[in-house]
Structure 1
Amino acid sequence: MNMPDGSAAVSDGGPPMAVLAFDHRERAFASVRSTGMTREEIGRSKELIFEAFVAAVDSGLAGTRPGVLIDEEFGAPIARRAAALGFPVSMPVERAFEPVFTFEYGGDYRRHLLEFRPACAKALVHHRTTDPLEARQTQLTRLRELSEFLAEQSIGFMLELIVGQSDGGTGQIPTVDVEELCGSMAEMQNAGVLVDQWKVEGISSPDEAAQVAAQAVVANPRATCVVLGAGAPNDVVGHWLDVAAATPGFSGFAIGRSIWGGAVASWLDGRLARHQAIEQIASTYRSCALRYMGARVS
């Protein structure tokens, strides 16, 4: 196996990031299967996804920089193994399904981060400039606290900012509400929240992608954007990858359920053997990397 450089916390002008995201906690992870999952099944599934990740790296990822986004609750051993192998590891700090950003481990989040010292800490936040003022101010205060701590510790900050998508009622490929996204980014920047990587919902227009990339660097000239998958089908994710890859200021992708959801459910239901599920996830992940690089150079 070629050993990657796992020390880079954020994009440094090197190869684009190809992040396989499986940091989803119990409710979100189990939702990819119609009958749900036990905690034991979730743990086994995450092990399977990591094996697929390693298999994809071994087969080549088209010059991208592979990494994982994994949670501590179900994936602590995976995080340690990935780091030992030299892969950049990102880990979430948010408590899942809270309407206002809340630390997973409360005031103890610092100790948890320092135990693992991931390349990036990831915070998923639902935030719109039209949300109630008190909720926004609470989120901004907590995010600024987090960003200041991460900067002190030289840990990168990946902010997954969710404002919502729409196809405008046209049935075409959905795109993020770009004006709202940029407005929310600006609100956070003005509040002193320093972000290294903005993990954003898919954008279908190159001009709008450029608008988002320009907003990202307003407070941090080294900041970049990575595109997420939102569990969307392959054709939609492929278009988002094409747009992101062709836009300066985007530095790769961080995609999860769109890559592994179907294979994990089929394996647990007995429709795929374990090695087949691994091969399917590895192939889909590798296809995302190939597509990103192909769009980037075309």
Structure 2
Amino acid sequence: MRAEPGTGRLDLIAMGRAGVDLYGEQVGGRLEDVTSFAKYLGGSPANTAVGGARLGLRTALLTRVGDDHMGRFLREQLTREGVETAGVLTDRERLTALVLLGIRDPDSFPLVFYRENCADMALCTEDIDPALLTRADALLINGTHMSRPGVRAASVKAAQLVKAQGGRIILDVDYRPVLWGLTPRDRGEDRFVADAGVTAALDQMLPLCDLIVGTEEEIHILGGTTDTLAALRRIRRRSHALLVLKRGAHGCVAFPGAIPASLEEGCVGQGFPIEVFNVLGAGDAFMAGFLRGWLRGEDIATCCSWANACGALVVSRHGCAPAAPSWDELMLFLSRQDWPARLRDSPMLEQKHWSSTRTGTYDSLCVLAIDHRSQFEELAAGQADAERISRFKALALRAVEQATGDRPGVGVLIDDRYGVRVLERAGRLPYWIGRPIEEPGSRPLRFEGAASVEETLKAWPAGQAVKCLVFYHPDDPPVLRAEQDEKILRLSAACRASRHELLLEIIASGHGAIGPDTVSTVIRHIYDLGVYPDWWKLESSADIRAWSAIEAAIQERDPECRGIILLGLAAPEADLLASFTVAAACPLVKGFAVGRTIWHDVARHWFAGAIGDEEAVDRLATNFEALIAGWHEARQQATAG
């Protein structure tokens, strides 16, 4: 049951609920009428741990997850978000909790909790590892984990251990009456039912707390009365904690000392005038923002401002943890006051959110491209059918494994026309995966797959980048440019909606004169459209002026772009290696995605029966290794120079 220990100090350990949120994608109707759901990490403490990590805090989660697919998803997602998982224990007898959520209207957010005997509610005192807790400056306790004797005892034990070593204790009241058995199970959205037993259970934590955060309803249950000031005074008699009252659109009020005669006499943090789309998760983001200030010694006014801003950003979006802002996004939001009431309508904010919350980094990326379709059809004409092409692509994936093992910074580009079985296997391997969306050779751009590109991407697994090749030149006729622009815009919107990264491949050669500014002009134009590819895939150039212009365009418009990878266009290996030397001087170029240079001759001999499977794999692996080594050598020389 015990997880592997971590190392280093932690700003915060969040303890309690961790589950999977299944969010209805259809908005404005009953939960009964929702037909599809988006899957997100969920559970109040887990959301706050992610939100805190995005804001720069060193966070960890203490909970249990099931030994199931959803539990593994939570553990992997926490790791991707930078949340330490040393305290995420695997329960082999219970399943991970699930929640179904919907957005009906600005005041109705139906929830159904599937938490019967779930993993996180089995957390017990034996799970509390002093070695983990001694690393924490603060511990966040979740009110729901005071609802059963076992998790209540575990919460109290953890709080006592952290308090004894000089750490601080935070209570997020997080009152859900349904989770205390006080409402019918279909009333998960109910926020308040008075109950003396709940008040008594929560009361055990009050003397240990340094910070208590709750809505008015949560302050009422904690204080045992629906008179807000009276409840605050009753809490104050039991605790010297900083009390923070969340008031939704009205912001918040903090009380560091005695409770005054009116709420307005506390430390008032003003809210933000934005449209409320989805209140779910806003409190968790509020907590993350407040803790980013409080744990780093900021004054109360600043803590309140950051908390309210984080809450405002989340109520404008779909989902809880995925909607939490990054530090850069928070600072951007606070830097001006002219945002639209519907924050999600701001391209600037949405782009900052997307680019600053993507997970994973790539110092380099070397990709074997076997997504070709028409080239394989031409190569195999009269000698092979679709099954044989698929078999060769499977050999190419074996070659990647043989050449690189689990080395980071390796990827594959694979199509689903001939490589669907290869895509399935690649998804179980530690590789970056790209998948083409364009019809081969189409100009103007056309998409493969379903009737709409949006429908196509809905069927693609998360983690697969959408690769789109566009033959585009600044001197293209206006009608052609307009048609291609419309397709690029549509694809970009579809990628964001389906949460897939976009690799945009631009080939300008063959469609007009090529000068130092040709490609950079195309790049600027695409940014002017409002399209921000996560990756660019570009032709090699021996002209350093071209690379300087490209780098300047990207840095100016999207400094958080993941980078550029080079395409090969079937160039001889020696020519490619020479082009690496020039491109490596541009830090934004991260590597290559090359196909025919690596596999063309091998495929020709294999389809003709001149070589067998094993020789094909060996030769493909050797060719791929040679380009990887050449790229890294070029980068080292550029860095040394």
Q: Same fold (TM over 0.5)?
A: yes
Are the aligned partners of 1:196 and 1:220 in contact in 2 as well (CA < 8 Å)? no
2:356 maps to 1:18: no
2:568 maps to 1:229: yes
| Structure 2: distance between partners of 1:148 and 1:65 | 27
Q: How many residues end up aligned between the 2 structures?
A: 281
2:481 maps to 1:143: no
Task: State percent identity of aligned pairs.
Answer: 25
2:526 maps to 1:179: no
- Structure-2 change in CA distance of 1:43 and 1:199 (3 Å): same
- Structure-2 change in CA distance of 1:218 and 1:199 (3 Å): same
The aligned residue for residue 43 of structure 1 is 390
CA offset at residue 35 of structure 1? 6.0
Deviates more, 1:180-189 or 1:207-216: 207-216
2:631 maps to 1:292: yes
Are the aligned partners of 1:164 and 1:177 in contact in 2 as well (CA < 8 Å)? no
The aligned residue for residue 108 of structure 1 is 452
Deviates more, 1:153-162 or 1:101-110: 101-110
Computing the radius of gyration from Cα coordinates, the structure with the larger value is 2
Deviates more, 1:211-220 or 1:249-258: 211-220
Q: Secondary structure at the match of 2:417?
A: helix
Deviations 1:161-201 (A, max 9, x none): 010069x9xxxxxxx64422111112211112221111001
CA offset at residue 11 of structure 1? 9.5
The aligned residue for residue 160 of structure 1 is 505
- Structure-2 change in CA distance of 1:51 and 1:183 (3 Å): same
Are the aligned partners of 1:47 and 1:78 in contact in 2 as well (CA < 8 Å)? yes
2:438 maps to 1:99: no
- Structure-2 change in CA distance of 1:80 and 1:187 (3 Å): same
Deviations 1:231-270 (A, max 9, x none): 1111111112222223211111111111111111111212
Equivalent residue in structure 2 for 1:122, among 467, 482, 485 = 467
The aligned residue for residue 423 of structure 2 is 79
Deviations 1:55-111 (A, max 9, x none): 1123x86xx511111111111121121111232211111111222011112543333
- Structure-2 change in CA distance of 1:240 and 1:35 (3 Å): farther
Are the aligned partners of 2:538 and 2:567 in contact in 1 as well (CA < 8 Å)? yes
Q: Secondary structure at the match of 1:276?
A: helix
| Structure 1: distance between partners of 2:465 and 2:485 | 19
Q: Normalised by the size of structure 2, how large is the TM-score?
A: 0.41
The aligned residue for residue 244 of structure 1 is 583
Instruction: Give the counterpart letter for 1:160 in structure 2.
Output: E
| Structure 1: distance between partners of 2:449 and 2:515 | 31
Q: Secondary structure at the match of 1:102?
A: coil
- Structure-2 change in CA distance of 1:197 and 1:72 (3 Å): same
Equivalent residue in structure 2 for 1:208, among 533, 542, 546 = 546
- Structure-2 change in CA distance of 1:216 and 1:165 (3 Å): farther
Are the aligned partners of 1:163 and 1:177 in contact in 2 as well (CA < 8 Å)? no
Instruction: Give the counterpart letter for 2:535 in structure 1.
Output: Q
Are the aligned partners of 1:241 and 1:288 in contact in 2 as well (CA < 8 Å)? no
| Structure 1: distance between partners of 2:451 and 2:464 | 21
Q: Secondary structure at the match of 2:614?
A: helix
Equivalent residue in structure 2 for 1:53, among 378, 396, 400 = 400
Over aligned residue pairs, what C-alpha RMSD do you find?
Answer: 2.6
| Structure 2: distance between partners of 1:153 and 1:259 | 32
Q: Secondary structure at the match of 2:610?
A: coil
| Structure 1: distance between partners of 2:518 and 2:384 | 35
- Structure-2 change in CA distance of 1:119 and 1:232 (3 Å): same
Q: Secondary structure at the match of 1:20?
A: strand
Query: For structure 2, which runs of at least 5 residues remain unmatched after alignment?
Result: 1-76, 82-354
Are the aligned partners of 1:165 and 1:177 in contact in 2 as well (CA < 8 Å)? no
Q: Secondary structure at the match of 1:74?
A: coil
Are the aligned partners of 2:450 and 2:456 in contact in 1 as well (CA < 8 Å)? no
| Structure 1: distance between partners of 2:393 and 2:552 | 35
Instruction: Give the counterpart letter for 2:586 in structure 1.
Output: T
CA offset at residue 209 of structure 1? 1.8
| Structure 1: distance between partners of 2:502 and 2:424 | 19
Equivalent residue in structure 2 for 1:65, among 403, 409, 433 = 409
Are the aligned partners of 2:404 and 2:410 in contact in 1 as well (CA < 8 Å)? yes
Deviations 1:95-142 (A, max 9, x none): 112220111125433333232234310111001111111111111111
| Structure 1: distance between partners of 2:539 and 2:451 | 29
Instruction: Give the counterpart letter for 1:24 in structure 2.
Output: H
| Structure 2: distance between partners of 1:110 and 1:194 | 18
Deviates more, 1:227-236 or 1:81-90: 81-90
Instruction: Give the counterpart letter for 2:524 in structure 1.
Output: A
Are the aligned partners of 2:535 and 2:565 in contact in 1 as well (CA < 8 Å)? yes
Deviates more, 1:142-151 or 1:225-234: 142-151
Q: Normalised by the size of structure 1, how large is the TM-score?
A: 0.86
- Structure-2 change in CA distance of 1:132 and 1:289 (3 Å): same
Q: Secondary structure at the match of 2:530?
A: coil
| Structure 2: distance between partners of 1:184 and 1:256 | 24
2:556 maps to 1:218: yes
Query: For structure 1, which runs of at least 5 residues remain unmatched after alignment?
Result: 169-175
Deviates more, 1:239-248 or 1:156-165: 239-248
- Structure-2 change in CA distance of 1:263 and 1:11 (3 Å): farther
Are the aligned partners of 1:94 and 1:103 in contact in 2 as well (CA < 8 Å)? yes
The aligned residue for residue 132 of structure 2 is none
| Structure 1: distance between partners of 2:559 and 2:493 | 17
CA offset at residue 34 of structure 1? 8.0
Are the aligned partners of 1:165 and 1:201 in contact in 2 as well (CA < 8 Å)? no
| Structure 1: distance between partners of 2:633 and 2:550 | 22
Q: Secondary structure at the match of 2:446?
A: coil
2:619 maps to 1:275: no
Equivalent residue in structure 2 for 1:189, among 514, 521, 527 = 527
Instruction: Give the counterpart letter for 2:446 in structure 1.
Output: T
| Structure 2: distance between partners of 1:67 and 1:114 | 22
Are the aligned partners of 2:502 and 2:534 in contact in 1 as well (CA < 8 Å)? yes
Instruction: Give the counterpart letter for 1:78 in structure 2.
Output: V
